[in-house]
Amino acid sequence: MSDSARPQMGQNLLFLTDDQLRKGIEAMFFAYRGFTADPDRILAQKSYGRAHHRAIHFIHRSPGTTVNNLLSVLGVTKQSLNRVLRSLIEDGLVISSVGRKDKRERHLHLTPAGAALERELSDAQRDRMRAAYRAAGPAAVVGFRQVLEAMMDDETRRHYEAMKDKPE
């Protein structure tokens, strides 16, 4: 993009009205409700919630991640994460093993049952995202991701950047 085009785009963005911003905020609330609806139904059958889903997702994305790293990625309290992990371990979805180098570390892995649940949850969300992306078109997909990335704070962005190029 040429430098002369950049200020024009920036100026247009500076003149969003409060009503336009409110509509965007409301669209995000309703989209999030739709995005989480299918996984919520699957999780409810197992008496799990969104915290369980998030833990399963990020353990899948980083097999062997430590509890401390997961705490940092999720931005939750140790007590909250321990409650979630305890139920996932007791139900045979996650394995916690002592670190080889540092015995104080606990490394987390999904069991085959945990991987199956992760796949079921992710498939539901991928189906919804795929349909939305197809309906919106390639330019909207890129723009949507740019908006989401621009809303992240620095710490969140660091975690996102570390994860986004990892293969599935």
Give the DSSP H or E segment for 98: strand 94-98
What is the band of 1 on the pLDDT scale with cuts at 50, 70, 90?
very low
User: Would you state the pLDDT for residue 163?
Assistant: 84
Q: pTM, whole model, 2 decimals?
A: 0.83
Give the tens place of pLDDT for each residue, 73-87. 999 999 999 999 999
Residues 6+ apart with CB under 8 A from 97: 106, 107, 109
CB-count burial class (<10 Å; 0-12, 13-18, 19+) for 78? exposed
Q: How far apart are CA 39 and CA 15, in angstroms?
A: 37
CB-count burial class (<10 Å; 0-12, 13-18, 19+) for 108? buried
Helices 50-61 and 67-74 cross at an angle (nearest 10°) of 120
Amino acid, single-letter form, for residue 29: F
CATH fold of 20-164: Arc Repressor Mutant, subunit A (1.10.10)
- Is the pLDDT at 13 greater than 70? The verdict is no
User: Would you state the pLDDT for residue 4?
Assistant: 43
CB-count burial class (<10 Å; 0-12, 13-18, 19+) for 134? exposed
CB count within 10 Å of CB 89 equals 16
Q: Which of 49-63, 90-104, 119-133 has the lowest mean pLDDT?
A: 90-104
